[in-house]
Amino acid sequence: MQFMLLFSRQGKLRLQKWYVPLSDKEKKKITRELVQTVLARKPKMCSFLEWRDLKIVYKRYASLYFCCAIEDQDNELITLEIIHRYVELLDKYFGSVCELDIIFNFEKAYFILDEFLLGGEAQETSKKNVLKAIEQADLLQEVRHLIKITVDKVF
Amino acid sequence: MALKIVKGSIDRMFDKNLQDLVRGIRNHKEDEAKYISTCIDEIKQELKQDNIAVKANAVCKLTYLQMLGYDVSWAAFNIVEVMSSSKFTYKRIGYLAASQCFHESTDVIMLTTNQIRKDLSSPNQYDTGVALTGLSCFVTPDLARDLANDIMTLMSHTKPYIRKKAVLIMYKVFLKYPESLRPAFPRLKEKLEDPDPGVQSAAVNVICELARRNPKNYLSLAPLFFKLMTSSTNNWVLIKIIKLFGALTPLEPRLGKKLIEPLTNLIHSTSAMSLLYECVNTVIAGQYWFSVGSKELCVQKLRILIEDSDQNLKYLGLLAMSKILKTHPKSVQSHKDLILQCLDDKDESIRLRALDLLYGMVSKKNLMEIVKKLMLHVDKAEGTTYRDELLTKIIDICSQSNYQYITNFEWYISILVELTRLEGTRHGHLIASQMLDVAIRVKAIRVFAVAQMATLLDNAHLLTGNMQRNGICEVLYAAAWICGEFSEHLENPMQTLEAMLRPKVATLPGHIQAVYVQNAAKLFATILKSQEGNTDSTAAQDTSQLMIDRLPLFVQSANLEVQERASCILQLVKYIQKLQQKDVEVAEEVNALFAGELNPVAPKAQKKVPVPEGLDLDAWINEPPSESESEDEQPKAIFAKEEPKHSRPRHTEVDEKELARRREARKQEQANNPFYIKASPSSQKVYQDAPGVEHIPVVQIDLSVPLKVPGLPMSDQYVKLEEERRQKERAEKKKKEKKKRKEKRSGRGKKHDSGPESEEDITPAHQVDIVTEEMPESNCASVRFYLSRPLADSEKLPVRSHRAAEAAKSPAEDGETENATSLEPKKKSSKEKREKKKDKDRDRKVMVKCWIHHWDCAFFVFIFFCLHFLTGNDAYHLLCSCKSDFKGRLNGRWETMSDTVYDIQGNLQDGSQVVVSVIFENKCDSFLKSMEFNVLDSLNSKLQRPEGSGPHDGLTVPFQLPPGVSNEARFVFTVQSIVMPQKLKGTLTFIVKNEDSSTHEKLDFKLHFTCTSYLITTPCYSDAFAKLLESGDLKGSSVRLEGVNMPFHHLLARICFHHHFSIVERIDSCASMYSRSIQGHHVCLLVKTSGQTVSIDAKCDEPTLLGNVLDEIKQTFSQC
């Protein structure tokens, strides 16, 4: 996988993950172009399109589009499966996820994605394992919240 | 007081965390940029503080802003600071920010090396994990080099969580720092058998990706992957493994055969569409075509995908189908119905895929039907892009391979005319060029085409409604030209002339106006000719007057070309008018301006005309002109270039006689040229009174549909017409057959199959002049033509004069290479051969290696033979064939063939089938394509051809060969009797394509089926063996081998290996051996040795077979 983009129906980027080194300018250009192309497609159309020398696989969940770019020999269907897995993971983690969850906790969405995919390849196919890893890492982070709460209480 | 200050700073510390920022941005929709710039200022303040928590918060906000498209590269150093925090909370944020914001040119990356190394070896697995994740995004060659060793150590970490990540990131490291691959590979390989499935899957992933880049290195892992493939149930892993095999099989064809079974099993059993799709794709891309029914299975499965209601599956199914279409159009064609259905799909991307497929599926039979359907879609199509796509596809489909599938050109012209109704299409020029092409090349259609074009010109106002952005007016260019050039066919030339000189024409683009003016002049000439015969001379004068009245409009044109032509013609007409007033007949002279027939000429024709002897093109004919003169010349040249398309030969002065003579000579030349299909005078007649001519629609004016150009025939009618024509043809044929049968009533009249008509039965109603890239005389048209034709003089292959003689000689030569004894007349040819050998390296262009093995037999049965293609020699011929020693001892030219040897496992299924695998290796620098493999069948052995092809048709080799590439194809032979060895002659024809030319070439070869190749190693127990000998059914024979200089067990091994025997029993210097033929003959040997003499007593139920096998054994040992 070359990159993954999440964007809203209004074309606002919600999450981006690049697995190939590109300059910021190039990234912006690609994003703009792809968001336009995907949003222009009608709802009943299939989830694949050919774009430059890549294949784009996208799927819409509620108001969010999940969009992945894969290479020529890659399997479109398994990429759809990856997208679906990721959505399921978000759903489990946030408890019926919505766009706002991802906007306000965007770093969490990244952490989950990083546990699921690494360097563009699926690293863990078991949902349970991914969530376990995230939960334990979160536990380490709880300390920070405790500090903040005590500070708040003092003043 | 102090407390207040602290409180204030702490307040500020936490006054805006990420959530606040996001909320703020959402609340400031109107002045977002301004709000964010104040936020960035705040962040800059926060970053200046020492408190790491504040910094981390700032970095977190920056990461969010980065996603929104703001530049945060200025904070790179702060990100590194946060990354190096000892607290996981901040570290995590730091690494996330780095992975989002850093790229290879970020200079602070080099500061991170030690920090990352520290994190990688942290006792906390999540520290390590976060570092690995981050690294996967921003790894640079330097980081890869410095950290490769640390990551490699992590591949053996105790926690699978870390191992998994380390393995995956190794791929990125390999990419950035390839030197790490060799030292790390053994450990990576170990991970394929890691107890944790996640780690295992990661390793498969990495190796699969590596193998895609360079498959050769990973061939040795094939058995391991094969094991994984048959044992794993994880679809993710299976997909990767199958992909990996897809990359490996081109290098090792044996894998294909091994894979086909598990792949078919998966295709049958899996419920996961992604896996099914991967399997099908791999089979399609792979070389497994000739095995079992895998191809059919794939097509079936694809049909199911396409029929599925899920758009995604439908799309992928069509995509995969188009891949099959390239190699096996026949198997896709049977699903035409389904693909046509997809044209109605609501999803445009699916429709486009289906259109792609249609191109390869048309035939003479269904072309009209398919195009009719497409025309309906053109009418319905909403978006112009899709409609334009349809239009180009229709034209592509119809015009492919020289209009091969068009049987009725009237229909095609009508289709083109109907297409001109499309508003706002960009492809007007495409339609125009088709009209021109058809009208020029299909002579019989001109009458009809001219009538259609005249109507178009008449209704030009409908086409040019809003012509500024209307590409369709390009067709008027073609219409005007056709009407002018073939004006003798016009029914009402006067009306057309008027249409061409309307004032509205002046609004057309310049290049079209120019054609209008020029062709108006042609029309004028024709009209004059017809009018001058009449007694009333005023008509002719009226015509001249019309020209004189209308042309001044064009003389004023801003376009130079139009202006020049118009003023020229205007003066000419004025002069004509003067003559007419003096009652001088001018028609003939005016017509001479435009005399001469226009013939299609291939673009490269001139190249093929040899420069006559004694002509030096570079030499000056006259003394070189002086400088000043050449300057004067220049402007002329510029003008001459203006309109190369329409420039006619300016030899109008050539007298009539000379012209007639030339025309006669050309006709003669064309008549003798098999590639020049001319419209014979009779064909025009046939057209005139063709069946159903009354169906040609009469002018109908339909005012209710203004967009339709009135009076133009609907192409649909031709579909009906065509049906009628074919039916009539069929009926006639039947009649003829009946007649024949009547004539042959005497008895042996063959039964004619009057079943469904085949492609060949459909004769086209019109014929096209075929102009291919090559000159007619050179090799073109079809392979079959080429085979039966002696080489023409134009062919540049050297020494062709000896061709016939050499071709006859080559079989004898083959015999010689095999037979040890040399006879008197052959000495000469062996001398010749030595000479050839000298030239060998230069000459050898293509080498075809081939071996025969049995269909899935238990042991590797083979015959090798080898073909050399020698250009520069008199013929291309088979150099040697070899039965037993594939290491090349028989002939020095064999080189190292052993790398192509391989074994096949399985069992004997069919006693009459033999499969020949041929590896084609392209050793020349050109691209080879359109390879056809053909063998001259004998009574006994026949090449299996697909159903419906004739007994002499060749088989298309399903691939093309770029230079230096080799590939394997398999051909199945049916053999009746196996008691005799046999040689089959064959030919391989192919096209050699260079940058600038392509030529047909052929290779002759021989296939040698030895009796040994029909034997299969079959174990036999000694008691069964004894029973067999006692039964008395077997006939005996014996042979003695002298001077065999090898240990007895070597000798036995040799017989076993080369002749497929197994040892039943061995006692000292005596052994009994056994083998079975594919048709169940028993062959028993008793081999004894004493000194250098070996005697073999043999028994078999088929004495001829036995004799031949013994001969072959003898030969094996005479060669060592």
d(CA B17, CA B27): 15
Residue A112 Cα, gap to closest chain B Cα (Å): 11
- Option in A18, A119, A155 nearest B172 (CB): A119
- Say if B575 is an interface residue toward chain A (CB within 8 Å): no
- Strand stretches in B782-912, DSSP E: 844-854, 864-870, 878-882
Residue B612 Cα, gap to closest chain A Cα (Å): 51
Residues of chain A found within 8 Å of residue B205, distances taken between Cβ atoms: 121-122
Instruction: Report, as an integer, the average pLDDT of A58-62.
Output: 91
Instruction: Report, as an integer, the average pLDDT of B193-221.
Output: 88
CB within 8 Å of chain B, chain A residues 13-32: 13-16, 18-19, 21-24, 28
Q: Determine the pLDDT at residue B947.
A: 74
Closest by CA position to B878, among listed B1020, B1002, B700: B1002
Closest by CA position to B173, among listed B150, B199, B139: B139
3-state secondary structure of B139: coil
Question: Does the distance separating the beta carbons of B234 and A24 come in below 8 Å?
Answer: no
- Option in A45, A73, A122 nearest B243 (CB): A73
Nearest CA in chain B to A58: B312
Nearest CA in chain A to B132: A118
Question: Does the distance separating the beta carbons of A75 and B347 come in below 8 Å?
Answer: no
Q: What angle do CA B440, B441, B447 make, to 5 degrees?
A: 60
Instruction: Report, as an integer, the average pLDDT of B181-193.
Output: 89
Closest by CA position to B1007, among listed B981, B1029, B989, B1041: B981
Q: Which two tokens stand for residue B860?
A: 């590797």
**Portion of chain B with pLDDT greater than 70, in percent:** 73
ipTM, two decimals, is 0.91
Closest by CA position to B851, among listed B806, B899, B818, B782: B899
Q: Determine the pLDDT at residue B516.
A: 92
Which range has highest mean pLDDT (B543-557, B698-712, B933-947)?
B543-557
Question: Does the distance separating the beta carbons of A118 and B88 come in below 8 Å?
Answer: no
Instruction: Report, as an integer, the average pLDDT of B430-454.
Output: 89
Question: Does the distance separating the beta carbons of A140 and B126 come in below 8 Å?
Answer: yes
CA dihedral of B427, B433, B435, B438, whole degrees rounded to 10: -140
Strand partners, B928: B961, B992
One-letter identity of residue A108: K
DSSP B234-265: -HHHHHHHHHHHHHHTTT-HHHHHHHHHHHHH
Q: What's the DSSP call for residue B56?
A: H
Q: Determine the pLDDT at residue A6.
A: 93
d(CA A86, CA A134): 13
Residue A139 Cα, gap to closest chain B Cα (Å): 10
pLDDT confidence tier of residue A59, bands split at 50, 70 and 90: very high
| Per-chain mean pLDDT for chain A | 86
d(CA B458, CA A119): 66
**Pick among A114, A116, A124, A125 to test the B interface (most B CBs inside 10 A):** A114
Non-local CB neighbours of B799 within 8 Å, separated by 6+ positions: B872, B873, B874
Question: Does the distance separating the beta carbons of A76 and B316 come in below 8 Å?
Answer: yes
For B758-817, the pLDDT digits (tens) are 554 555 666 665 544 443 333 333 323 333 333 344 433 333 333 333 333 333 344 433
Instruction: Report, as an integer, the average pLDDT of B844-866.
Output: 30
Nearest CA in chain B to A151: B10
Q: Determine the pLDDT at residue A112.
A: 92
| Per-chain mean pLDDT for chain B | 73
Q: Determine the pLDDT at residue B957.
A: 79
- In whole angstroms, what separates CA A41 from the centre of its chain? 20
Q: Count Cβ–Cβ pairs < 8 Å, chain A vs chain B.
A: 149
For B310-334, the pLDDT digits (tens) are 888 989 998 888 888 877 777 787 8
Residues of chain B found within 8 Å of residue A141, distances taken between Cβ atoms: 88-89, 92
Segment among A61-65, A141-145, B194-198, B956-960 with least mean pLDDT: A141-145
CB within 8 Å of chain B, chain A residues 60-119: 73, 75-78, 80-81, 103-104, 106-107, 110-111, 114-115, 118-119
One-letter identity of residue B195: P
Q: Determine the pLDDT at residue B669.
A: 63
Q: Determine the pLDDT at residue B429.
A: 85
Closest by CA position to B161, among listed B187, B117, B131: B131
DSSP B753-779: --SSPPGGG---SS------SS-TTSS
Q: What's the DSSP call for residue B961?
A: B
Residue B861 Cα, gap to closest chain A Cα (Å): 36
Radius of gyration over alpha carbons of chain B, in Å?
40
Non-local CB neighbours of B1112 within 8 Å, separated by 6+ positions: B883, B884, B981, B1010, B1011, B1012, B1059
Q: Determine the pLDDT at residue B881.
A: 30
Which range has highest mean pLDDT (B30-34, B458-462, B597-601, B756-760)?
B30-34
3-state secondary structure of B183: helix
DSSP chain A: --EEEEEETTS-EEEEEESS---HHHHHHHHHHHHHHHHHS-TTS-SEEEETTEEEEEEEETTEEEEEEE-TTS-HHHHHHHHHHHHHHHHHHHTS--HHHHHHTHHHHHHHHHHHEETTEE----HHHHHHHHHHHHHHHHHHHHHHHHHHHH-
Segment among B553-557, B715-719, B805-809, B824-828 with least mean pLDDT: B805-809
Residues of chain A found within 8 Å of residue B346, distances taken between Cβ atoms: 44
For B502-516, the pLDDT digits (tens) are 888 888 888 889 999
Q: Determine the pLDDT at residue B736.
A: 65
Closest by CA position to A154, among listed B13, B49, B10: B10
Instruction: Report, as an integer, the average pLDDT of B100-118.
Output: 87
Question: Does the distance separating the beta carbons of A107 and B89 come in below 8 Å?
Answer: no
d(CA B541, CA B549): 12
Q: Determine the pLDDT at residue B965.
A: 74
Q: Is the predicted pLDDT of residue B870 greater than 50, yes or no?
A: no
Residues of chain B found within 8 Å of residue A46, distances taken between Cβ atoms: 311-312, 314-315, 347, 349-350
d(CA B268, CA B279): 10
Question: Does the distance separating the beta carbons of A77 and B165 come in below 8 Å?
Answer: no
Neighbours of B960 (CB within 10 A): 17
pLDDT confidence tier of residue A77, bands split at 50, 70 and 90: very high
Instruction: Report, as an integer, the average pLDDT of B373-384.
Output: 79
Q: What angle do CA B477, B481, B484 make, to 5 degrees?
A: 145
Residues of chain A found within 8 Å of residue B347, distances taken between Cβ atoms: 42, 44-46
Q: What angle do CA B849, B855, B860 make, to 5 degrees?
A: 60
Instruction: Report, as an integer, the average pLDDT of B238-249.
Output: 88
Residue B444 Cα, gap to closest chain A Cα (Å): 44
Instruction: Report, as an integer, the average pLDDT of B448-472.
Output: 76
Determine contact, residues B1006/B865, Cβ cutoff 8 Å: yes
Determine contact, residues B305/B339, Cβ cutoff 8 Å: no
For B131-178, the pLDDT digits (tens) are 999 988 888 899 999 999 999 999 999 998 999 999 999 999 999 998
Residues of chain B found within 8 Å of residue A146, distances taken between Cβ atoms: none
Closest by CA position to B937, among listed B982, B979, B978, B985: B985
Segment among B405-419, B660-674, B856-870 with least mean pLDDT: B856-870
pTM of this prediction?
Answer: 0.58
- Say if B274 is an interface residue toward chain A (CB within 8 Å): yes
Segment among B73-77, B96-100, B897-901, B934-938 with least mean pLDDT: B897-901
- Say if A128 is an interface residue toward chain B (CB within 8 Å): no
Pure H helices in B51-87:
52-67, 76-83
Question: Does the distance separating the beta carbons of A137 and B88 come in below 8 Å?
Answer: yes
Q: How many CA atoms lie within 13 A of B163 on its CB side?
A: 20
Q: Is the predicted pLDDT of residue B125 greater than 80, yes or no?
A: yes
- Option in B22, B92, B137 nearest A141 (CB): B92
Q: Which two tokens stand for residue A83?
A: 């997208």
Nearest CA in chain B to A101: B19
Q: What's the DSSP call for residue B900?
A: G
Q: Answer with the residue of higher pLDDT: B625 or B359.
A: B359
Question: Does the distance separating the beta carbons of A144 and B349 come in below 8 Å?
Answer: no
B649 to each of B13, B74, B575, B644, how far by Cα in Å?
91, 73, 23, 11
- Option in B14, B22, B103 nearest A148 (CB): B14
Q: How many CA atoms lie within 13 A of B769 on its CB side?
A: 24
Question: Does the distance separating the beta carbons of A144 and B171 come in below 8 Å?
Answer: no
For B1061-1118, the pLDDT digits (tens) are 888 888 888 888 888 888 888 888 888 888 888 888 888 888 888 888 888 888 888 7
Residue that the structure tokens 């690294």 belong to: B135
pLDDT confidence tier of residue B757, bands split at 50, 70 and 90: very low
- Say if B100 is an interface residue toward chain A (CB within 8 Å): yes
Q: Which two tokens stand for residue B680?
A: 């014979």
Q: Determine the pLDDT at residue B169.
A: 92
Q: Determine the pLDDT at residue B469.
A: 52
Determine contact, residues B436/B645, Cβ cutoff 8 Å: no
Radius of gyration over alpha carbons of chain A, in Å?
17
Nearest CA in chain B to A3: B137
Q: Determine the pLDDT at residue B744.
A: 52
Residues of chain A found within 8 Å of residue B312, distances taken between Cβ atoms: 46-48, 76-77, 80
For B908-964, the pLDDT digits (tens) are 455 677 777 777 777 777 777 788 888 888 877 778 787 777 777 788 877 787 777
Q: Is the predicted pLDDT of residue B1006 greater than 80, yes or no?
A: no
Closest by CA position to B821, among listed B1115, B569, B445, B470: B1115
Residue A98 Cα, gap to closest chain B Cα (Å): 15
Q: Is the predicted pLDDT of residue B592 greater than 90, yes or no?
A: no
Question: Does the distance separating the beta carbons of A75 and B100 come in below 8 Å?
Answer: no
pLDDT confidence tier of residue A69, bands split at 50, 70 and 90: very high
Closest by CA position to B455, among listed B407, B418, B426: B418
Q: Is the predicted pLDDT of residue B840 greater than 50, yes or no?
A: no
Q: Determine the pLDDT at residue B801.
A: 36
Q: Is the predicted pLDDT of residue B244 greater than 70, yes or no?
A: yes
d(CA B917, CA B903): 12
- Say if B53 is an interface residue toward chain A (CB within 8 Å): yes
